[in-house]
C-alpha cells in the first residue's frame, strides 16, 4: 500500500523472489509516483487503497507516509488482511492505539517493520549479551546516520506528513534494538535536537539522545541526516556495547565491495553490500506467522514503544529536561 516509503522499492523485488508469494499489485494515491512505479516494476497500480483491498488479498505491506498509516491499517484490517507496517507506525500515540484496536477487532496480524532484528550480526550481539558473556553491561551507544531523504521522498522533510525529521526517522530502529537485545524498557529520555545541516526544511536533521533503561543501563543514540549525496552508501547503523568483561562493536552494513565507474554518478565510489538481507528474513517471518496462525516476532507493541520514545525525544528537547516514560 503506497510507494511513499522508499523501502517499498526493495520489498517488491524480494517478494517476487519468494516461492508461493503472488504480488497482486500496489495502490498509490500519488498519480505521478504510482505511474512511474508501475512502469519501473511492471506492476499493476490500483488508484486507491480500497480497490487494491478488493482483490481478495491475504496480506499487505503499508508503506504510506507516516501520518497516513492509521487510515491504511484500518482499511486493511477491515478487509481482513494481515499487515506489515513501516515504522514509525504513526505520528501520534492516539493513531497508534487506534491501529491496535482495528487489528484486534479484525483478528489479523500486525507486524512492525524492524528488519535489523533479523540481521545476523545484530542477532549474534543479542545472543552474547543474553548469555552473559559481557557480564554486567554498563552502557550502549548507537549511531544511525543517512542522507536527507527528500531527494527521493520529499515528504520525509515535511513535519505534517513525517511527524518530525531525523529523530523520528532514526531513533526508532535503535530504540527497538535496545529493548530487544537487553530485554528491557526505556525509563527516561533526554534529547537535544537541532537542524544544523538544512535550514530550508522545517524539521530536525540531527539529534543526540540519552536514555536510562529499566535494567539500570545507560544508552545513547546519535542520529542525523548528515551524509552528503556523494557518500558511498545511503547510511549506516552501528552499536558499541560496554560491559564488565569487555566490549562489543558492530557495523551492521560493513560487508560491502567498493565499486568505481567512469560513468557519471552521484555515488562514485559506491559501497555495494554483499551481506545477508535482513529485509528478506523479516518478510519470511511475516509470512510464517500468517501460515502458522501465530503472532509475529515483532508486534504492534514494539512499534508503539519505539514511537513513544521518538515523541518523548521531541518533548524533552522542547523543555530542555529529561522526561520519564510512564508505564502503560
Assign residue 16 the CATH number of its domain. Answer: 3.40.50.720
- pLDDT for 266: 66
The domain that holds 284 is classified in CATH as: 3.30.360.10
Q: Is residue 64 included in any domain, yes or no?
A: yes
Q: Judge whether 71 lies within some domain.
A: yes
Query: Shortest CA distance to 19 belongs to which of 213, 291, 221, 240?
Result: 291
Helix or strand (DSSP H, E) at 143: strand 137-146
DSSP bridge pairs for 137: 243
Same domain, 158 and 304: yes
* pLDDT on residue 302: 98
C-alpha grid cell, residue 187: 525509563
Verify that 179 and 196 share a domain, yes or no: yes
In this structure, are 16 and 148 located in the same domain? no
Asked whether 63 and 1 are in contact (CB, 8 A), the reply is yes
The predicted pLDDT at position 328 comes to: 67
* Pair 59, 146 in one domain: no
At which of 113, 138, 162 does a domain end?
113
Residue after which a domain boundary falls, among 72, 89, 113: 113
Within-domain flag for 1: no
Q: Is the residue at 2 inside a domain? A: no
Examine residue 249 and state whether it is found in any structural domain, yes or no: yes
The domain in which residue 306 lies consists of: 116-324
Considering the domain architecture, whether residues 107 and 140 belong to the same structural domain is answered as: no
47 lies in the same domain as 191 = no
Residues 299 and 218 in one domain: yes
Q: Examine the fold and report which residue of 82, 113, 144 is the final residue of a domain before the chain moves on.
A: 113
Specify whether 176 is located in the same domain as 61: no
The answer to whether position 302 is within a domain reads yes
| C-alpha R_g of the chain | 20
CA distance 59 to 45: 16
Scanning 159-292, the segments in alpha helix (DSSP H) are 159-162, 166-182, 278-291
Q: Are residues 89 and 167 in the same domain?
A: no
Separation between Cα atoms, residue 177 and residue 252, nearest integer Å:
12
62: closest CA among 42, 167, 53? 53
pLDDT for the residue 14: 96
Q: What is residue 245's predicted lDDT score, i.e. its pLDDT?
A: 96
Same domain membership, residue 45 and residue 141: no
**Chain position carrying cell 525525544:** 313
Q: How many domains does the chain have?
A: 2
Does residue 93 fall inside a structural domain?
yes
Residue 80's CB is within 10 A of a number of other CB atoms, namely 13
Output the pLDDT for position 265. Answer: 67
Can you give the pLDDT at residue 151? 65
Q: Could you tell me if 97 and 152 lie in one domain?
A: no
What's the pTM?
0.95
pLDDT along the chain (328 residues), means of 10: 95 95 96 95 96 98 98 98 98 98 98 97 96 96 92 87 96 98 98 94 96 97 93 90 96 90 80 89 98 98 98 98 89
- Residue 12, domain member (yes or no): yes
301 and 168 co-located in one domain: yes
Amino acid at each position: 500500500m503506497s510507494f511513499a516509503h522508499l523501502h517499498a522499492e526493495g520489498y517488491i523485488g524480494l517478494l517476487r523472489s519468494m516461492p508461493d508469494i503472488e504480488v497482486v499489485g500496489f495502490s498509490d494515491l500519488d498519480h505521478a509516483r504510482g505511474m512511474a512505479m508501475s512502469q519501473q516494476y511492471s506492476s499493476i497500480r490500483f488508484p486507491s487503497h480500497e480497490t487494491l483491498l478488493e482483490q481478495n488479498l491475504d496480506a499487505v505491506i503499508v508503506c504510506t507516509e507516516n501520518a497516513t498509516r492509521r487510515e491504511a491499517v484500518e482499511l486493511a484490517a477491515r478487509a481482513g488482511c494481515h499487515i506489515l507496517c513501516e515504522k514509525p507506525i504513526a505520528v501520534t500515540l492516539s493513531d497508534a492505539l487506534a491501529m491496535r484496536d482495528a487489528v484486534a477487532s479484525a483478528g489479523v496480524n500486525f507486524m512492525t517493520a524492524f528488519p535489523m532484528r533479523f540481521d545476523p550480526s545484530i542477532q549474534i550481539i543479542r545472543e552474547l549479551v543474553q548469555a552473559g558473556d559481557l557480564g554486567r553491561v554498563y552502557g550502549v551507544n548507537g549511531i544511525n546516520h543517512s542522507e536527507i531523504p527528500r531527494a527521493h521522498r520529499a515528504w520525509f522533510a515535511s513535519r505534517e506528513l513525517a511527524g518530525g525529521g531525523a529523530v523520528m526517522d532514526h531513533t526508532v530502529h535503535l530504540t527497538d534494538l535496545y529493548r530487544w537485545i537487553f530485554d528491557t524498557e526505556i525509563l527516561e529520555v533526554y534529547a537535544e535536537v537541532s537542524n544544523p545541516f538544512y535550514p530550508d526544511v522545517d524539521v530536525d536533521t540531527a539529534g543526540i539522545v540519552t536514555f536510562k533503561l529499566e535494567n539500570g543501563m545507560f544508552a545513547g543514540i546519535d542520529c542525523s541526516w548528515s551524509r552528503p549525496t556523494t557518500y558511498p552508501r545511503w547510511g549506516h547503523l552501528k552499536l558499541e556495547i560496554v560491559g564488565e568483561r569487555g566490549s562489543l562493536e558492530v557495523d551492521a552494513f560493513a560487508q560491502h565491495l567498493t565499486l568505481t565507474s567512469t560513468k557519471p554518478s552521484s555515488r562514485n565510489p559506491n559501497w555495494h553490500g554483499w551481506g545477508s538481507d535482513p529485509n528478506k528474513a523479516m518478510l519470511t517471518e511475516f509470512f510464517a506467522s500468517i501460515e502458522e496462525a501465530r503472532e509475529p516476532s515483532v508486534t504492534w507493541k514494539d512499534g508503539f514503544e519505539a514511537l513513544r520514545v521518538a515523541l518523548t525525544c521531541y518533548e524533552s528537547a522542547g523543555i530542555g529536561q529529561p522526561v520519564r516514560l510512564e508505564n502503560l
